[in-house]
Structure 1
Amino acid sequence: MNQKKLPMEFYPLMEQLQAVDFVLVELTLYLDTHPNDQAAIQQFNEMAQYRQQVKHQVEQYYGPLQQFGNSYSGYPWNWSDSPWPWQL
């Protein structure tokens, strides 16, 4: 499989997405034990919305990040384009 060369702009976007994912995981763990914390729920929802924006931006330029309907495909089918997120 040929790994396509990515511009330097790709890496800060992926770093931003990974940071948002970390925040969402931490908030999920916190909310599992504090389900009535309205401020944390609000922060979680804001971060989830922000994640969708960053994910869309990454996918718009570099292709899908997730499969099984979580990401749209370009034409031609571009799921097999690399690098995949776990290859970074």
Structure 2
Amino acid sequence: MKQAANPDKERHALMEKIQMVDFALVELTLYLDTHPQDSQAIQQFNQLAVESRDLKGAYEKRFGPLRQFGGSFSGYPWNWGDTPWPWQV
């Protein structure tokens, strides 16, 4: 018998993946500021940027808006007031 998925566990796991990828992006940005000719680092940055975008899209599809200032669309009715907010996860 298949057990029902735990949405809180799924939310936390997906948010953790997003945070890990975004952390790597920040570190690569700092590295590339001092090593702008490193083509492997640029390639890794671009791959992680796509992964970050896809993870955030998956999160928003399942749990609601994640990014502010037009980075995320709202459902109807306006759902930015729904909790938990991403920083509360």
Residue-by-residue CA offset, 1:20-67 (whole Å, 9 max, x unaligned): 011000000000100111110010000000001100000001100111
Bigger Rg, which one: 2
Shift, 1:76, TM fit: 1.1
Residue-by-residue CA offset, 1:2-37 (whole Å, 9 max, x unaligned): xxxx53211110000000011000000000100111
Residue-by-residue CA offset, 1:59-80 (whole Å, 9 max, x unaligned): 0011001111101111111111
Query: What amino acid is aligned across from residue 53 of structure 1 in structure 2?
Result: D
**Runs of 5+ in structure 2 lacking a partner?**
1-6
Which sits farther off after the overlay, 22-31 or 65-74? 65-74
Alignment TM-score, normalising by the size of structure 2: 0.87
Tell me the number of residue pairs that the alignment of Structure 1 and Structure 2 aligns: 83
**Runs of 5+ in structure 1 lacking a partner?**
1-5
Alignment TM-score, normalising by the size of structure 1: 0.88
Identical counterparts, % of pairs = 60
